């Protein structure tokens, strides 16, 4: 997809939206948790820009969750951004976004991730090159089909005003992106993933990014409320921690956002807030046939939930 050089973007409008989105998500998740609150940590980047990281730890529902806003800029694009886009070489850049990962206490509540972002690359005497990206995905240890259907129904509904094929296109992209090649399994049950979005012009592309950002709470909070009182034992907790290991593997081996953050000189603590507070690996682990733990593995592939 060619990167857009038309329809000059309104950078300040994007920033205002992202800051308000961070506020709304933190307030709503803290309310759902009922005990913890997000602690804010602001930071500055030496090369330009900064952000505000918000983390909730040891809550009643959320074991650890982070909701980060960042706005960074510089004179040279990181290698992770120019590897597939040589036309960006030698351009100044700005990147801003909200990224979040929520790791719940209860193994029956899935880990969730969401991200919306905006990039613009500029060079004197040439048109700006800009695009939006983002999405959200769900990583359960125990799959409830009604939760998966709800998650994907919200995703499909938000995509509907933008085209009949948008949900299918971005769901497939999510299944392909959040895939651990070395494990031959998806990270979870998917959702939406999009990048390089500029084909509709700035206003419509910005509207789609907002639709994705706004839909995250609608998709996730009902699942949290439904599952947070479910009793569990050490067996479920151990399996949850084992599956969190897969989350770590993906983020450190494949995730482009992690790579971009580290290569662009971002704040390491904020970049790695996506890591779970506890995880475990077990050599040669295989769940007992017919167990609830074994059931998960039949869902770690692209599935038409709707």
Show which residues are catalytic.
113
How many other CB atoms are there within 10 angstroms of residue 225's CB atom? Answer: 12
152 among the known binding-site residues?
yes
Instruction: Report, in angstroms and rounded to the nearest whole number, the Rg of the chain calculated over CA atoms.
Output: 19
71 annotated as ligand-binding? no
What is d(CA 225, CA 221) in angstroms, rounded to the nearest whole number? 6
20 annotated binding-site participant: no
Nearest Cα neighbor of 300 from 138, 105, 157, 152 is: 138
CA distance 18 to 210: 9
Q: Which two tokens stand for residue 4?
A: 């857009």
The reply, when asked if residue 235 is annotated as ligand binding, is no
Q: Is 280 annotated as a binding residue?
A: no
Catalogue the E-assigned strands of 81-189.
Answer: 92-104, 111-122, 129-139, 179-180, 185-186
Task: For residue 59, say whether it is annotated as part of any ligand binding site.
Answer: no
265 in a known ligand binding site? yes
190: Cβ contacts below 8 Å, ≥ 6 apart? 137, 138, 152, 171, 174, 175, 178, 302, 303
Contact 199, 1 (CB under 8 A): yes
Is residue 113 a known part of a binding site? yes
Query: 89: alpha, beta or left, given left = phi > 0 and alpha = psi -120 to 50?
Result: beta
Q: State how far the Cα of 25 lies from the Cα of 23, in Å rounded to an integer.
A: 6
C-alpha–C-alpha distance, residues 297 and 302, integer Å: 12
How far is the CA of 220 from the CAs of 64, 139, 164, 225, 301, in angstroms?
Answer: 16, 11, 23, 9, 21
Is 150 annotated among the ligand-binding residues? Answer: no
Residue ranges for the known binding site for a divalent metal cation are 103, 113, 152, 182
Residue ranges for the known binding site are 99, 103, 113, 115-117, 152, 182, 265-267
Residue ranges for the known binding site for substrate are 99, 115-117, 265-267
């Amino acid at each position: 997809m060619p990167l857009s050089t038309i329809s000059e973007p309104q950078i300040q409008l994007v920033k205002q939206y992202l800051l308000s989105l961070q506020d709304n998500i933190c307030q709503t998740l803290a309310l759902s948790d009922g005990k913890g609150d997000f602690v804010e940590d602001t930071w500055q980047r030496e090369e330009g820009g900064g952000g505000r990281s918000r983390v909730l730890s040891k809550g009643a529902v959320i074991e650890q969750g982070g909701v980060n806003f960042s706005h960074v800029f510089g004179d040279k694009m990181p290698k992770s951004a120019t590897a597939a886009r040589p036309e960006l070489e030698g351009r100044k850049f700005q990147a801003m976004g909200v990224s979040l990962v929520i790791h719940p206490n209860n193994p029956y509540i899935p880990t969730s991730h969401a991200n919306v972002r905006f990039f613009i690359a500029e060079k004197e005497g040439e048109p700006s090159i800009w695009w939006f990206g983002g999405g959200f995905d769900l990583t359960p240890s125990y799959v409830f089909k009604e939760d998966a259907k709800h998650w994907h129904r919200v995703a499909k509904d938000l995509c509907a005003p933008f085209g009949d094929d948008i949900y299918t296109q971005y769901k497939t992209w999510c299944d392909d992106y959040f895939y651990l090649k070395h494990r031959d399994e998806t990270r979870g049950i998917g959702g939406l993933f999009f990048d390089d979005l500029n084909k509709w012009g700035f206003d419509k592309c910005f509207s789609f990014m907002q639709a994705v950002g706004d839909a995250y709470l609608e998709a996730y909070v009902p699942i949290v409320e439904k599952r947070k009182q479910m009793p569990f034992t050490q067996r479920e907790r151990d399996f949850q921690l084992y599956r969190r290991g897969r989350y770590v593997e993906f983020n450190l081996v494949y995730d482009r956002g992690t790579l971009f953050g580290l290569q662009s000189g971002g704040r390491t603590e904020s970049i790695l807030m996506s890591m779970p507070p506890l995880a475990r690996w077990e050599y040669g682990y295989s769940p007992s046939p017919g167990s609830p733990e074994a059931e998960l593995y039949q869902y770690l592939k692209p599935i038409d939930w709707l």
